[in-house]
Amino acid sequence: MTDRWEQYLYEQHSAEQLAAWALSLRYFRFCRAVGGHAGDGDQLRVALAVDSRDDLETVLAALGIPLTILPADEPRPVTGQSYTGDEYARFRDAIGRFPDVAQPSHVRLAGEKAFAWVGTDRLTVSISDEKDIWSVSDAAVEVARRVEPMIDPIAHHVIDPPGKDRHCVCPTYYPEFWAS
């Protein structure tokens, strides 16, 4: 790690705090924002493998997220056509691999706010601070701790790390946090 990277990684939270969070969570990982023009924020993130429609249904059911089937005549945006923000917001996002299923998006897990999105091979669940969606706090870590028991029955679906770079604080990139 470079000094510049360490300054960025520990800008909001000390190494001791990140290590304490890391050791207190089994599945969720603290992921530092890419930053700059990426428009992202820090998150706690877990990725769950979804290799088939059955996997999708199993993972969503374990998390208590409803599988929302989109009707065949569901309005879809037309490429090349412009829409106002309000018009575009009315379209529901479909899952790329399963175009008849709506993206979960903003959900409640264990009674708390989270964001769930199905990509090519995984469902990613993200949790951030409720008051400041760009950051992670002790309160967000508590939410993740309450959600983790829901993952226990599907733990074999966990993809660790949820991101493939040093932005994810996990044993792969920060083994020193798990060394003791």
Residue 15 lies in a domain: yes
| Helices (runs of H) and strands (runs of E) counted in the chain | 5, 7
Residue 98 in any domain: the answer is no
**pLDDT at residue 109, as a whole number:** 96
Question: What CA–CA distance (Å, rounded) separates 101 from 165?
Answer: 30
**Distance between CA atoms of 17 and 23, rounded to whole angstroms?**
10
Tens-digit pLDDT string for the chain (180 aa): 468 878 777 677 788 888 888 899 999 998 887 765 456 778 899 999 999 999 999 999 999 999 999 999 999 889 999 999 999 989 999 999 999 999 999 999 999 999 999 999 999 999 988 777 777 889 999 999 999 999 999 999 999 999 888 888 889 988 888 886
Residue 141: count other Cβ atoms within 10 Å of its Cβ.
21
- Does residue 121 form part of some domain? yes
Q: Domain containing 118: what range?
A: 3-68+104-178
pTM: 0.88
Q: For residue 136, what pLDDT is reported?
A: 85
The reply to whether 21 falls in a domain is yes
Is residue 96 assigned to a domain? no
DSSP-derived pairing of the beta strands 43-49 and 122-127: antiparallel
In a domain, 90, yes or no: no
Structural domains in the chain (count): 1
Structure tokens at 35: 């930053």
Tokens of 157: 């679906």
36 within domain boundaries:
yes
Q: Which of 54, 31, 47 is closest to 158 using CA atoms? A: 47
* In a domain? residue 150: yes
